[in-house]
Amino acid sequence: MSAQPLSALTTMRVGGPAEEFVTAHTRDELVEAAISLWQRSHDWLLLGGGSNTVVSDEGYPGPVLLVRTSGISQVEDPDLAPGSVRIRAEAGHDWDALVAECVNRGWAGIEALSGIPGLAGAAPVQNIGAYGQELSEVLHSIEFLDAATFEPRRMLAAELELGYRDSVIKQGLEGVVLSIDLVLADAAVVAAETGPEAISEPIRFAQLATALGVEVGSRVPLHTVRDAVLRLRAAKGMVLDEADHDTWSSGSFFTNPIVTERFARGLPSDAPRFPIVDPGEAPAVTTFEELAEGQPLRVPTPARERRVKLSAAWLIEHAGVPKGYRLPGSGAALSSKHTLAITNRGAASAADVGELARFIVQRVQQEFGLVLVPEPNLYGIEV
């Protein structure tokens, strides 16, 4: 067993040792290391920035492959719409460094995703999102090393079934994301009409619009959006800061539950709920535009029951678990700034984190009859 514990490699800062660590600094090393590990066994862990991974105190009973590649390049693409750029980030490139670089170059589309910890290769795994933007809106494709064939292949975003904090990879498609390609608006071109400064995509998130002092739908300079998002996130302990235990976390520990409208009607009337636009919910008739494009007549699908997204934070608070909540003798507590984040107050064990998570799940289930689902990837921890 290596002496290095996984607590040193994850942002929750819990987790015991691993059998062995392998580090890949280049794309070719990453391909080679993954194939050689698969040839031995499929029981190994791929780790990026460790910001969405929580490992038990016993550690990981196999090798851990650390993705430490880096680099951003522009990709020539004759099919690009005018005013867009296609960029490629290696899997190990720091996500926020990528956002900062794009903002500096005047490329719009990921500015609201500023400050999310972790590495580019993990971004499609749970389709990261924040403040009204989601990776799925800009992801063109990934280069994917498939565990079934050991062959790298290009997978288009549409093949990844990206959903709310979800993808085919999160659902079990085994392999390594080697790089991600994004298509962003070359805001310098857009800005030619509005002024000299590179401007953002329209602001969609009401809280961000309020912080910026603009209406939802407005466009503002890219740097202004990035700065505002970083300020909002820091106030919630959502930007990593060694000195602030509220940030020793995996971000949101639970996803916002998606339930049927019928179930939601049984909840208190002040429980926030947000309508879900179901991608399967196509209009029953084929539009003239679709016919003109040569698309076949659509066969109407039976209407699915409408669904809404609930606020996990509201459910937790109203189940009697407030910000800062700590079980007696535990080293873990809810963040004092954000109900959804389970945090390590300095000396938490993975067992403490698991115990608090289970307590929250139980409280919410008893109070509202639904089971919260953890967002981070848990290894050796049952919730």
Ligand X SMILES: Cc1cc2nc3c(=O)[nH]c(=O)nc-3n(C[C@H](O)[C@H](O)[C@H](O)COP(=O)(O)OP(=O)(O)OC[C@H]3O[C@@H](n4cnc5c(N)ncnc54)[C@H](O)[C@@H]3O)c2cc1C
Within 200-219, the residues that bind ligand X by CB under 6 A are none
User: Closer CB to ligand X, residue 59 or residue 106?
Assistant: 59
Contact between 15 and ligand X per CB under 6 A: no
CB 312 within 8 A of CB 257: yes
Q: Quick one: which segment of 19-27, 248-256, 282-290, 328-336 binds ligand X (CB under 6 A)? A: 248-256
Contact between 315 and ligand X per CB under 6 A: no
Contact between 331 and ligand X per CB under 6 A: no
Contact between 251 and ligand X per CB under 6 A: yes
Give the E-state strand segments of 39-174 in sequence order.
Answer: 45-47, 53-55, 60-67, 72-74, 84-90, 107-108, 129-130, 133-134, 139-146, 152-156
Contact between 247 and ligand X per CB under 6 A: yes
95-105 helix and 222-235 helix, angle to the nearest 10 degrees: 150
Contact between 91 and ligand X per CB under 6 A: yes
Instruction: Provide the β-strand partners of residue 166.
Output: 163
User: Closer CB to ligand X, residue 255 or residue 365?
Assistant: 255
CB 256 within 8 A of CB 307: no
Could you tell me the smallest distance in angstroms from the CB atom of residue 83 to ligand X?
27
Instruction: Provide the β-strand partners of residue 146.
Output: 175
Q: Quick one: which segment of 19-27, 111-119, 209-217, 219-227 binds ligand X (CB under 6 A)? A: 111-119
Could you tell me the smallest distance in angstroms from the CB atom of residue 194 to ligand X?
28
Could you tell me the smallest distance in angstroms from the CB atom of residue 241 to ligand X?
9
User: Closer CB to ligand X, residue 106 or residue 143?
Assistant: 143
Nearest to 339 by CA among 271, 273, 253: 253
Residue 266: Cβ within 10 Å count = 10
Within 349-378, the residues that bind ligand X by CB under 6 A are 377
Could you tell me the smallest distance in angstroms from the CB atom of residue 28 to ligand X?
15
Q: Quick one: which segment of 17-25, 246-254, 295-303, 355-363 binds ligand X (CB under 6 A)? A: 246-254
Q: Which residue is nearest to ligand X (CB)?
A: 118
Residue from 31, 85, 102, 128 that binds ligand X (CB under 6 A)? 128
DSSP code per residue over 284-297: SS--HHHHHTTPPP
Q: Please give the C-alpha separations between residue 307 and each of 132, 161, 290, 310, 373, in angstroms, as whole numbers.
A: 19, 18, 27, 10, 17
Residues catalogued as catalytic: 165, 252, 375
Using CA atoms, how far apart are residues 239 and 242, in angstroms rounded to an integer?
10
Using CA atoms, how far apart are residues 142 and 232, in angstroms rounded to an integer?
30
CB 53 within 8 A of CB 10: yes
> Cβ contacts of residue 284 below 8 Å, gap of 6+?
298, 300
Using CA atoms, how far apart are residues 237 and 324, in angstroms rounded to an integer?
12
Could you tell me the smallest distance in angstroms from the CB atom of residue 251 to ligand X?
2
Contact between 256 and ligand X per CB under 6 A: no
DSSP conformational letter for 116: -
User: Closer CB to ligand X, residue 42 or residue 262?
Assistant: 42
Contact between 221 and ligand X per CB under 6 A: no
Residue from 116, 155, 191, 212 that binds ligand X (CB under 6 A)? 116
- Cβ-count burial 88-117 (b if 16+ within 10 Å, e if not): bbbbbbbbbebbbebbebbbbbbbbbbbbb
Binding mask 48-87 for ligand X (x = CB under 6 A): xxxxxx-------------x--------------------
Return the structure tokens found at 320.
Answer: 């009697």
User: Closer CB to ligand X, residue 123 or residue 361?
Assistant: 123
Could you tell me the smallest distance in angstroms from the CB atom of residue 366 to ligand X?
28
**Strand 139-146 versus strand 152-156 pairing type:** antiparallel
Start-end of H helices in the chain: 27-40, 95-105, 187-194, 206-212, 222-235, 261-265, 288-292, 312-318, 350-368
Q: Quick one: which segment of 40-48, 71-79, 81-89, 189-197 binds ligand X (CB under 6 A)? A: 40-48
Binding mask 149-188 for ligand X (x = CB under 6 A): --------------------x------xx-----------
Binding site for ligand X (CB under 6 A): 11, 46-53, 67, 91, 116-119, 121-123, 125-126, 128-130, 169, 176-177, 238, 240, 247, 249-251, 377
